[in-house]
Each structure stands twice: as structure tokens, then as C-alpha cells.
């Protein structure tokens, strides 16, 4: 499956999840990254940028002038991201924005020439192993660190429990692996791949913790989670419909708690000429 076949994500869904994403991402990995950033200016390539939530989260946490190059195949999302990116870094330095529309499968070292960092959010699990390899190879050739956030790991905890939780979860994970996508195996695949190219790899837990204050996101996530499970196993449809009604009813009262487990990955190249740290 090529990146161009990955389903489009609606701006409404990306907006709804942004605060949960921001709360989940690992600031610890940024501290490990800082000494390995070259610049100024920092040149950051944001892959599959969507509406730009990764840039809005990360750019203010970095210091010094920055150039963010936003990559996405959807021109509407690129326009939204460019318009909403912050224009000042954490120390008030200027942030410039550029956009690049295209297929991530064509990412090469020349694309990343002069890059200080490659970053992405919620991307790895919708790629193939071949595409993950392409990103790792390009980063290694360009001697560029990668900070890749919020990859699902195939584990969900829902309180109170329901007898159908595990079966829905298994069907969803199988759906995530459809075709040749890495799905919930993304962390293991990416860690092994970047290490094979000589990178030092660090990972950190970055779970969504959803409760009463995130009821709208919880409801939308439930619909997508159950819908994907049924798409993979149509015979679940009747039981899944009743399950979804039960879960949405509890969520509406604010009594449902969901933990969707993710991990963030930092890959530091084997060596690079040190520049000014952010």
C-alpha cells in the first residue's frame, strides 16, 4: 500500500484530537534532542503535517530562528497548517513557513538537505515497512534526527470493562495491519529500522487519557475504533452496534475512561557535525 492510498483525515477529526495529542506527546524526548539540533536557523520537515498540530506544539518549545517545511498530500490541509503555524519561537525568534505537497515515498536525502530535524505525528502506523525504511534511510543519509510522535501500539484500556472490549480491539488491530501497513507494530518496526541505519533510538510512552472532559473526542474515537473493527470483521456488526450504543451512553454521562496507548520515537543519527543547540 502506498502513502497515496492512506485514507484522508478530516480537519474536524484532527482539530478534535489536537489537545489530547498535545497532552500526550513526550517533552522528555525534546530534551534529549536539543543538543543534536543544527542551526540556526533550525530547518524542520514536518511529514504528513495535517492541520499543523505538531508544529503548533513543537515550534514554541524550540529556540532560535526556524524554517518549517510542511509536507502533506492534501493541499487543503497544507493551506490550513501554513496559516495556523506560530510565527515566533519560544524565545521570540522568527518562524518561517514553506509547504511541500507530495508522496512521502519519494522522500530522499536530497529532500532533507540542510535539515535539522524530521518530525511527524500519528504517521508511522499508517505506513508500510518499506515507507518507514525510506524515511529512516533518508534521515541517515542526511544525518538528520527524527522525532516521530503518537504511534499506536495496539493496546487500549476502557473503564468500566465490557465483555466485547478485547474482541473489538483485536479486530481493530488487524484492520490497522491491512494490506502491508505496520499498524500497531510501527514502534518495533521503526526502532529496528532506524537502528539498522546506525541511529540511537529512544522511545517514550505517550498515551491519550480520555475522561469526562474529553467526551466528544471519546465518542468520535469509539465510532472510528468500532467501525474499523467491523470493516475488518463484518460478522461483528450486530454485536458491535449494541456495544457502541452501550459505550456511547456511558461516555455521555462522563463515566467512561479510555486510555489509548501510543509511543513517541526519537532517532539520533550515528554522527553529525554539531551546530548551535536550540
Q: Show me where the domains of the chain are located.
A: 10-266
Distance CA 61, CA 66 (A): 11
To the nearest whole percent, how much of the chain has pLDDT over 70? 94
CB 221 within 8 A of CB 21: no
Q: Does residue 2 carry a pLDDT above 80?
A: no
Q: Check if the beta carbon of residue 86 is closer than 8 Å to that of residue 59.
A: yes
Q: What is the mean pLDDT of residues 197-201?
A: 97
Q: What separation in angstroms does the CA of 68 have from each of 39, 44, 54, 87, 108?
A: 13, 5, 11, 10, 17
Sole residue written with cell 492510498 = 5
Question: What's 10-266's CATH class?
Answer: alpha beta
Distance, in Å, from the CA atom of 164 to the CA atom of 132, rounded to the nearest integer, reads 33
Q: Distance of CA 29 to CAs 20, 44, 61, 206, Å?
A: 18, 16, 12, 11
pLDDT level of residue 226 (50, 70, 90 thresholds): very high
What average pLDDT does the segment 31-38 reach?
Answer: 92
Q: Would you place residue 216 in the very low, low, confident or very high pLDDT band (cuts 50, 70, 90)?
A: very high
Q: Which helix (H) or strand (E) holds 177?
A: none
Per-residue pLDDT for 276 more than 70? no
Question: Residue 70 pairs with which residues in a beta bridge?
Answer: 46, 99
Q: What pLDDT digit, counting tens, does each position of 72-82 carry? A: 999 999 999 99
Residue 203 pLDDT grade (very low, low, confident, very high; cuts 50, 70, 90): very high
- pLDDT band for position 90 (50/70/90)? confident
Q: How far is CA 63 from CA 55, 60, 117, 239, 276, in A?
A: 13, 7, 14, 52, 10
What is the rounded distance in angstroms from the CA atom of residue 113 to the CA atom of residue 123?
22
pLDDT above 50 (res 275): no
Q: What is the mean pLDDT of residues 191-197?
A: 98
* pLDDT higher than threshold 70 for residue 274: no
Phi then psi dihedrals of residue 265, to 5 deg: -130, 135
At residue 271, the pLDDT reads 67
Mean per-residue pLDDT over the chain, rounded? 92
Q: What is the pTM of this model?
A: 0.91
Distance from the Cα of residue 219 to its chain's centroid? 20
Amino acid at each position: 500500500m502506498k502513502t497515496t492510498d492512506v485514507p484522508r483525515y478530516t480537519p474536524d477529526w484532527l482539530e478534535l484530537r489536537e489537545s489530547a495529542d498535545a497532552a500526550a506527546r513526550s517533552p522528555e524526548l525534546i530534551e534529549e534532542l536539543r543538543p543534536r539540533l543544527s542551526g540556526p536557523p533550525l530547518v524542520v520537515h514536518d511529514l504528513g503535517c495535517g492541520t499543523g498540530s505538531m508544529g503548533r506544539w513543537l515550534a514554541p518549545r524550540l529556540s532560535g530562528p526556524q524554517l518549517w517545511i510542511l509536507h502533506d498530500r492534501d493541499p487543503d490541509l497544507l493551506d490550513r497548517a501554513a496559516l495556523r503555524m506560530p510565527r515566533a519561537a519560544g524565545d521570540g525568534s522568527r518562524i518561517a513557513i514553506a509547504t511541500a505537497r507530495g508522496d512521502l515515498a519519494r522522500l530522499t536525502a536530497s529532500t532533507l538537505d540542510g535539515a535539522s530535524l524530521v518530525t511527524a505525528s500519528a504517521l508511522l502506523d499508517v505506513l508500510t515497512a518499506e515507507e518507514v525504511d525510506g524515511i529512516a534511510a533518508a534521515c541517515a543519509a542526511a544525518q538528520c534526527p527524527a522525532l516521530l510522535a503518537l504511534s499506536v501500539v495496539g493496546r487500549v484500556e476502557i473503564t468500566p470493562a465490557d465483555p466485547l472490549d478485547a474482541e473489538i480491539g483485536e479486530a481493530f488491530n488487524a484492520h490497522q495491519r491491512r494490506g502491508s501497513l505496520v499498524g500497531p507494530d510501527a514502534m518495533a518496526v521503526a526502532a529496528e529500522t532506524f537502528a539498522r541505519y546506525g541511529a540511537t533510538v529512544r522511545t517514550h510512552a505517550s498515551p491519550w487519557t480520555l475522561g469526562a472532559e474529553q467526551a466528544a473526542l471519546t465518542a468520535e474515537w469509539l465510532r472510528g475504533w468500532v467501525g474499523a473493527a467491523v470493516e475488518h470483521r463484518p460478522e461483528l456488526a450486530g454485536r458491535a452496534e449494541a456495544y457502541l450504543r452501550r459505550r456511547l451512553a456511558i461516555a455521555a454521562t462522563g463515566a467512561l475512561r479510555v486510555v489509548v496507548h501510543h509511543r513517541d520515537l526519537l532517532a539520533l543519527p550515528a554522527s553529525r557535525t554539531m551546530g548551535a543547540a536550540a
